[in-house]
Structure formats: C-alpha cells, structure tokens
Amino acid sequence: MPSQIEPGKTTPLANGDEVGEPKKLRAASTATLDLLELGKGDLSTLEKLHIRFIRHSLIPGRLDRSLRFLQRHIGANWIEQSIKNLRVVHGMDRLPPFDPKQSFICVSNHRSFFDLYVVTAYLVKQGLPHRILFPVRSNFFYDKALGFFVNGVMSFFAMYPPVFRDRKRASLNLAGIDETIRILRRGGTFIGLHPEGQRNLSDDPFSLLPAQPGVGRIIHGARVPVIPVFIHGLGNDIVKQVSSNYTKTGNPVNVTFGAPVDFGTLLDKPPSPRLFREISARSTKAIADLAAEAKARADGRE
C-alpha cells in the first residue's frame, strides 16, 4: 500500500509510487503549489472530495481527534496483534522524546507493502501521540469509491497525500510535496517516507535502491527531526503474514531504529535538485548503516 524526481527517470514520492519528472522541479522553485488549485482540470470529482475531506480532517477539532483516537486504539492494535509474535525491535533507546507539538519524518527501507504500518503501529503502542500519514499512489485509493473506504477502514485516512503515476498529471506531485511540507510545519504529525521510492525486489534483504531526491525536498522544506529505521522479514501476502504470526511459524520481523539523522549544514543551503539528492542520500545512508547492523546481528557477528 502505503510512496522525486531525477532527469530522465521515474519519480517515486513515497511508498512505491512512481511518476515522470515535471520540469517545474528542475528549477527548484521556492513557490508553494496548492494541489486542488493546480489540479482543477485534472482531478476527478471523487479525487477532489477525498483531498478536501482529509485536509479538513487535519484541522484541529473533533474529526482530527477522532481519527487520532482510531489510529491509536484500533489501527495500531490490529496491526500489533497481527505481528507481535514475530517482531523483534532494536534501537528504541536511540529515539528522541516524541513531543506531541513537534512533527517527525520516519525514513525506512521498502521491502513490503506493510513496512511503515508495522513500524508506526509499534511506536504508537509505545506512546507516539501523533497523527500518522503516508503518501500513497492515487490509483485505486483516490480514483475509486472503494479506495476511499479502504483508506478509512484500513488506516483511518493515513494514506495522504496522493501520488500520481500518470505522466500527464506528474506536476501535481510537486504540489503534493508542498502539501506534505506544510502539514509537517504545522506540528503534531508523523509522516512515513521511503527514500528508495519503489519497493526493492532484489534477493538481498539488506540492500537498498538509490535515493530519490523528492524525499530530500520534503526534509529540506520541513526542517523536522528525521528518524531512520530498517525493517526486514515482512512478506507481501497479508493473509500468510498474519496467519504465520498466530502459528508462530513465520520469519522473524526485525525492526532497527536509529538516532535522528544528522544533516550537518545541508538544511541551511539554498534549495536545488542537487541538494535534494544529497539530503535523500544522507537519509538512505542512515538506513544502510542500520541494515549493516541488522545483517551483522543476523550473521551472529554482534
């Protein structure tokens, strides 16, 4: 489920969703774009309604409080019950206090559809009070009525903002990046991103794909703590994954947290595509270091 842009390449925003490169990003414009305004003629009525609803739900009030409650007490609980017999967690002592008024970004490797769900469910059960969001592909989740229902029931509208794979609507993803930055700047939100963009389908569970610069653009614009995590052992068959948890016959699911990423002076530099790639690479390096640690543990060298 719950997934910028490099000349001549496809562009993942987060969680496995790819789009072509809009020329606007090459210029690294500092102007902010509004998703609904930019997509007036490109978004369907259903897509517009879905975006408006989630935007409204992010305004402090009863709806926001209700969704936070549901994510914390229902969403996190069913995920925990589905994975807790197989999951092993390392590095919790490296995490900072999660100030409820501060936003955070979580950057993770991407091997399965459920990586960030498992990571955030565990953190929520440990007391994370934030509203959870993951950018997600627009196909199905935003252009189908059933997608709206699944987003609500499965994640309590955590899957936002949408990412557009259609090259004709690729420029909307720049507005989605700006939307993500604005949400993070408000405070109180925990957003999960995959710097690799798409799922890594290689045979080596400890390898990572090259970093994509869109995540770097978000990190540079948001200026919030970035928490790296490496997770391996999850499968993509949800029925098999859940059943193997209850029978305790599945592969261990190892989660390794790292300390907040140190970007040095990178965040103080003026925005540019090259800088965004460098920031994304720095976040991926932090994940790769955790992968090396996890591999050493798996090999018995630790």
- 4 belongs to a structural domain: no
Band (pLDDT 50/70/90 cuts) for residue 30 is very low
| pLDDT given for residue 54 in this prediction | 96
| pLDDT given for residue 31 in this prediction | 55
pTM comes to: 0.87
Kindly report the backbone phi and psi dihedral angles of residue 215, in degrees, each rounded to the nearest multiple of 5, phi listed first: -65, -35
- 106 belongs to a structural domain: yes
What is the share, in percent, of the chain residues with pLDDT greater than 70?
A: 89
- 220 belongs to a structural domain: yes
Nearest to 19 by CA among 197, 220, 148: 197
- 22 belongs to a structural domain: yes
Nearest to 226 by CA among 196, 256, 188, 193: 193
- 287 belongs to a structural domain: yes
Q: How buried is residue 240: exposed, middle or buried, by Cβ count under 10 Å (0-12/13-18/19+)?
A: exposed
Give how far Cα 269 sits from Cα of 119, 279, 285, Å.
31, 11, 20
Q: Which domain holds residue 112?
A: 11-298
Long-range own/partner contacts, residues 45-52 (CB < 8 A, 24 or more apart): 46/142, 46/143, 46/144, 46/145, 46/148, 47/138, 47/142, 47/143, 47/162, 50/142, 50/148, 50/151, 50/162, 51/142, 51/160, 51/161, 51/162
Q: For residue 130, what is the domain's CATH number? A: 3.40.1130
pLDDT per residue as tens digits for the range 66-113: 999 999 999 999 999 999 999 999 999 999 999 999 999 999 999 998
The number of distinct structural domains making up the chain is: 1
- 6 belongs to a structural domain: no
- 95 belongs to a structural domain: yes
| pLDDT given for residue 301 in this prediction | 66
- 119 belongs to a structural domain: yes
